[in-house]
Amino acid sequence: MSSTNIKNPDVHYRESQKVYYAGTPVYSDGTNLIFNETTLSGINNGIDDLSAEITSVSGALQGQIDSLYISLASYVEEAGNHTLASGVSTTFITFSGTQEDTNYISSAIVRGGTNYIGAMITVPTLSGVNIKLSTTTDSADYSVDWSIIRTT
């Protein structure tokens, strides 16, 4: 049975059986390197099993994330989108109604335009929130997606 070493010393091809083998050579007969009988198809099966496991775990994680999102969504008290004018570095979001207190969680994300602009809520009030932008808007193509969440 003839054996041929392929470029990588950990991969082996047995000419007579046309089967690739992988692993560390067990010994050499002086001409050929002799490998353990771990075929690449066996390795591929192991990779396929691992891939199926990763898919299963990621699916389970996605289900938990979706569940968490649905759970949090039930706490959203109010949300909206506020258009930003060109040349502004702060804005005030007015709620549709007055809040009973300022013990809410607020979030704001700037969308649109050509530049990334961060948003920081600086002053929560009973009637709205003041938002400070990381830079001045360079056009009127930006808006702020905002929400307030009450967990109690």
* Domain ranges for the chain: 3-69, 76-149
Which residue from 32, 39, 36 is spatially nearest to 17, judged by alpha carbons?
39
Angle, alpha carbons 114-115-118 (nearest 5°): 140
* pLDDT exceeds 90 at position 42: no
pLDDT for the residue 77: 83
pLDDT exceeds 50 at position 75: yes
Q: How many residues does the chain have?
A: 152
User: How far apart (Å, rounded) are the C-alpha atoms in residues 124 and 127?
Assistant: 8
CATH code for 76-149?
2.60.40
Q: Which two tokens stand for residue 146?
A: 């905002």
Mean pLDDT of the chain: 75
Evaluate if pTM is beyond 0.75.
no
**Average pLDDT for 105-125:** 91
